[in-house]
Structure formats: structure tokens, C-alpha cells
Amino acid sequence: MKQIKTVRRKEWEALKKKEKKFLESRKEKSESRLNRLLAEKVPEQLQSKLNAAFEKAFSLIFRKGTGIIEKTYSREKIERTYQVNQYLAGLEENSRNIRAFSKSAGAAGGRNLIFSGVEGIGLGLLGIGLPDIPLFTGLILKHMYELALSYGFSYDTEEERYWILLLIRGALSCGEDSRELSREADLFIRDGALPEKYDQEEEIRRTAACLSGELLYMKFLQGIPLAGAVGGAYDVIYLSRIQKYAGIKYKKRFLYRQAWRKKKAGGRSGEEGRDDASERQRGSEHAQIPDEEKSRM
């Protein structure tokens, strides 16, 4: 029992360090020199066009495009891999078996980054900027879907769509917005519920605005033949940032669920039961929940 707790604690502590480092890197937004050079050249209407393009892409994919995205990977294979990993973790919950889940997710993420680079740079060379939006959005959601399956979560529910949009905004936001979105994500990890007055269209609008705000200058540059390759290359940078943040939050959610399942499974007694009770009284580090939520358990 002690060894299991040590494994969980180590994984949790390592994850908290990664999360803290990511949030620290997003404390302030700093414009690159290239963005400052492009600021005066970007047409005023481009922002609204980008917003509309991202909104349309998310809405269309959520309504009709998930089946198309699923043709780009084997859902059954990812689900089987998860089941094998879950079985092995059930037999022996060591570091190797716990990390197998994130290893599977990381392999898919690497392939998506390669495709993003080829697609973004290729279209940039041709001077294609705005038409790249549906492809880039589809690639973001493809990664999110594969990540969800790797950790044993379905992406077919309204709750999961909310969670995915929340993670995209959290990855790209800065300052207090970044910290607040991180807290919202942790609250969802604990409760798994939609917020009051949830509105999918509003969540899509917020996410579209966040993406267009970050990508404005690069999508403008991507619309210029040849030079647009530089703008297209930034698809990789932003997708990588989303992957990193989403990977942290999905693993956090996974560890929380693993601990909850262990507690729920089959009426423990004796020393093990007493040990669990003392853990709960100390704030349940063993339960692997977000720091700010421990006092509520």
C-alpha cells in the first residue's frame, strides 16, 4: 500500500511541477518582434474574419465532422491500448504502468505536430491563410480526441466538448485569465459537470476569439505566398502549446479518477481502511486531487 501511495505521490508531484512551470510561462503576454512589425499592416477586418472562421469550424466539426476526424486514426486501437494499460496498472500500479498512458498519448501528439508543420508551411508557401483554419481546427480536435481516448475518456458528450474548449483557451491565455481557466479545469476534474447557464455557442465564441487573437498576425503572414511559410510554421508552435497544457490536465484528471476508483473498489478493511481514513483527514494527498479542492473533500 505504501509503495502505491509513493508512486501516485511522485507522479502527482511531477505533474504539479510541470503545471506550475507552464502557468509561470504564461504570466504575461509578450509580443514578438515579428508581430510588432506586422501590427500596422494587418487589415482591421481580419480579426472578425478569423473569429467567424474558427466559430464556423468548431460548430461544423461538433455537428458533423467528428466522423471525418475519426477516419484519420483507429479509435478501436487506441481504446484497446487503453484497456491493456488499465489492466496492467490494475495488476501493479508502478511508475512504468502509470506512464504508459501518457506515452501512448505522446506518440499520437508527435504525429499531429509533424502533420501540422507540413500542412501549415505547405499552405503558407501557396499564400493560403484563412482556408487553413478548418484544417488547423480539425487537427487540434483530432489531438484532443486521441488524448481523451488514451486516458479512457469519451469525447462524444457535451461535457467533454466543454472540457476540450476550456483546455484550448487555458493553453493560449495569459495572466489572471490563464490562472482562472486552470481553476475552472480543476473544478471540472473534481465534479465533471457543466457550469450553470452553459451555452455551447458562447463557449465556441470564446475559444474562437482566443485562437484568433493569438494567430492574427501569423494567419495574415500565411496569406502571403512564400513568406507565408513562416506564418504556417507557427501552427506547430501553437498546437504544441495546446498539446502540452491539455496533456497536463488530462493526466491530472486521469490520476484523480484512478484514485477515486481505488477508493471505491471493494470495501477495504483493517490497516488499509484505517490508512485511507487518515489520508482523508490529512487532506487526502493519496486521493490525487487539485490542491485548491482538498479542503472541500
Q: Is 218 exposed, middle or buried (0-12, 13-18, 19+ CB in 10 A)?
A: buried
The pLDDT confidence band at residue 183, using thresholds 50, 70 and 90, is: very high
To the nearest whole number, what is the mean pLDDT of the chain? Answer: 79
pLDDT band at 218 (very low <50, low <70, confident <90, very high): confident
Residue 234: which of 34, 29, 9, 24 has the closest Cα? Answer: 34
Percentage of the chain lying above the pLDDT 90 cut: 42
Q: Looking at the predicted structure, is the pLDDT value of residue 282 above 70?
A: no
Q: Read off the pLDDT of residues 66-77 as tens digits, 9 standing for 90 and up.
A: 999 999 899 999
Q: Is pLDDT at 259 greater than 70 in this prediction?
A: yes
Q: Which three cell numbers stand for residue 269?
A: 478493511
Total-model pTM:
0.81
Residue range 270-274: mean pLDDT, rounded: 34
CA atoms within 13 A on the CB side of 178: 18
pLDDT for the residue numbered 121: 62
Read off the C-alpha cell for 260.
477515486
Percent of the chain at pLDDT exceeding 70: 73
Considering only residues 51 and 224, tell me which one the structure prediction assigns the higher pLDDT: 51
At 237, the amino acid letter reads I
Q: What is the DSSP-derived secondary structure letter of residue 185?
A: H
The C-alpha angle with vertex 249 and arms to 248 and 252, in degrees rounded to 5, equals 90
Residue 127 has pLDDT above 90, yes or no: no
As a whole number of angstroms, the distance between CA 34 and CA 216 comes to 12
Mean pLDDT of 100-116: 75
**Residue 106, pLDDT above cutoff 80:** no
Q: 159: buried, middle or exposed (CB in 10 Å: 19+, 13-18, 0-12)? A: middle
Most confident of 64-73, 107-116, 280-289: 64-73
Does residue 12 contact residue 95 with C-beta atoms inside 8 Å? no
Distance between CA 186 and CA 99 in Å, rounded? 21
Secondary structure letter of residue 194 according to DSSP: P
**Cell digits of residue 266:** 471493494
CA-CA distances (angstroms) from residue 134 to 43, 129, 230, 282, 295? 21, 11, 19, 48, 43
Domain assignments of the chain as residue spans, ordered by start: 2-296
Q: Quote the CA–CA distance of 21 and 248 in Å, as a whole number.
A: 11
- pLDDT of amino acid 42: 75
- Mean per-residue pLDDT for 94-119? 76
- Mean of the pLDDT values across residues 94-110? 81
Contact 214, 241 (CB under 8 A): no
Least confident of 92-101, 143-152, 213-222: 213-222
The x, y and z cell numbers of residue 65, run together, are 465532422
Residue 172 to residue 170: CA distance in whole angstroms: 6
- The pLDDT assigned to 277 comes to 32
- Kindly tell me if the per-residue pLDDT of 180 is higher than 90: yes
pLDDT of residue 287: 35
The arithmetic mean of pLDDT across residues 171-194, rounded, is 94
Q: Mean pLDDT, to the nearest integer, of 149-167?
A: 95
Residue 294 confidence (pLDDT): 44
Q: Is 288 left (phi over 0), alpha (psi -120 to 50) or beta?
A: left
